[in-house]
Amino acid sequence: MENVTLKNGVQMPMEGFGVFTVEDLAQCEQVVLDAVASGYRLIDTAAAYFNEEAVGAAIRKCGISRDELFITTKLWVQDAGYEGAKKAFETSLKKLGLDYLDLYLIHQPFNDYYGAWRAMEELYEAGKIRAIGVSNFYPDRLTDLCINAKIAPMVNQVEIHPFFAQEEAIKVMKELGVVPQAWGPLARGGHNIFTNTELLAIAEKHGKSVAQVVLRWNVQRGVVVIPKSVKKERMKANIDIWDFSLTDAEMAEISGLDSGHSDIVDHHTAKTAKWLNEWRIHE
């Protein structure tokens, strides 16, 4: 496993494990235990995933020391704002059963995320968070926040996969010193990704699976990946990407699959803004 160095010097694994949609707490606890046993050290959750308690239980049972793990959770839209973020952070920390977080992200670029960011800056300076960042911030909002914040985001987690390669967004992130992190790095199984003829041909050349090739493509671009699976054999396969490299021609061929847009969610629409602002995760 390789690490990337964030702008504050913190080392973050280039590959982690996500638990989005794993809402059954017993199942979530088990898959996190399986992921850690498979070699993952970065675990990514969120208040809006409703499974922070299960992630915390697995952390306590996994047998790996806390300082070897990199735990991420996220602030939901409902709790954006200075006071809301402070309260939501403490709630997440309590549910996880932790004394500090490795990475705390603003989950969506809506509501009072500037107020939330000021709270996160203070929590970071107080040593309660090792790194702070954002999620789903497109180049315009990310640039604006970086310019106006006291402490600029260190990570931006966005949808990135071969069919939404986000090359311009990644370029902007790198210019700003923000590490790109990919959610949905396997396109959530869309676009018939696992039977794509170009990807299958490249995978065959390397004796790897399509999933392994796609994950390798992202990390070779400097993008951190957080694939999710509830099946242990797939977890093991997804982390087995560090013993081969793609050629420049193969990298370009995979990037050529880019459609230039998301088929999952468009954060620029009024419909999305309304939907995410109305999604309540607590009373």
Radius of gyration of the chain (CA): 18
Q: Give the span between the Cα atoms of 41 and 59, in whole angstroms.
A: 10
| Enclosing H/E stretch for 238 | helix 232-239
Both tokens of residue 231? 């099946």
CB contact at 8 A, 186 and 156: no
Q: Which of 40, 49, 113, 124 is catalytic?
A: 49
Residue with tokens 């939330």, as numbered in its chain: 116
Q: Give the span between the Cα atoms of 105 and 231, in whole angstroms.
A: 27
Supply the DSSP symbol for 78. G
Backbone φ, ψ for residue 96 (5° rounding): -75, -20
Buried b (16+ CB within 10 A) or exposed e, 98-129: beebbbbbbbbbbbbbebbbbbbbbbbeeebb
CB contact at 8 A, 69 and 43: yes
Angle at 216 between CA 205 and CA 224, to 5 degrees: 175
Pairing outcome for strands 155-159 and 132-135: parallel
**49 is an active site residue:** yes
SS3 41: coil
What positions carry a catalytic annotation?
Answer: 49
